Amino acid sequence: GQQVMQIPQYQHVQEGEDFTTYCNSSTTLSNIQWYKQRPGGHPVFLIQLVKSGEVKKQKRLTFQFGEAKKNSSLHITATQTTDVGTYFCAGLLSGGSYIPTFGRGTSLIVHP
């Protein structure tokens, strides 16, 4: 079945440093979504990428979808303590019921 691998599992950074998490799918995706889960909270939808090679920005967050639509990345510039949480990617296949397959998540720890 479809697998979505996400690395790294954990990332410690000093406040102000950049952060990147990577997602790779074993199969070509229709869409990829990114979610953020704060400690003790629930996942919150951040963004969805649909097009091959697509790049979207939300303030300090940059999301990319690979040309082959099998990988994606989330990059945070100049991290802040409010960025702490676990970032999940979720891949969706076309032609089906759009059931998202989640990566295991990357937990970001920002040290002040």
Partner 1 sequence: GAVVSQHPSRVICKSGTSVKIECRSLDFQATTMFWYRQFPKQSLMLMATSNEGSKATYEQGVEKDKFLINHASLTLSTLTVTSAHPEDSSFYICSARQTGASEAFFGQGTRLTVV
Q: Which of 33, 71, 72, 79 binds partner 1 (CB under 8 A)?
A: 33
> CB of residue 16 vs partner 1: minimum separation in angstroms?
25
Establish if 107 lies at the interface with partner 1 (CB under 8 A). Answer: yes
d(C-alpha 83, C-alpha 54), whole Å: 23
Report the C-alpha gap between 27 and 91 in whole angstroms.
Answer: 9
Buried b (16+ CB within 10 A) or exposed e, 2-39: eebebeeeebeeeeeeebebbbbbeeebebbbbbbeee
CB of 90 to partner 1, least distance (A): 8
Please pick, from the candidates 8, 16, 41, 53, the single residue that binds partner 1 as defined by CB under 8 A. 41
Residues of this chain, 47-66, that bind partner 1 according to CB under 8 A: 48
Q: Which of 31, 71, 72, 79 binds partner 1 (CB under 8 A)?
A: 31
Q: How far is the CB of 41 from partner 1 (least distance, A)?
A: 8
Q: Give contact residues for partner 1 (rule: CB under 8 A).
A: 30-31, 33, 35, 41-45, 48, 88, 92, 97-105, 107
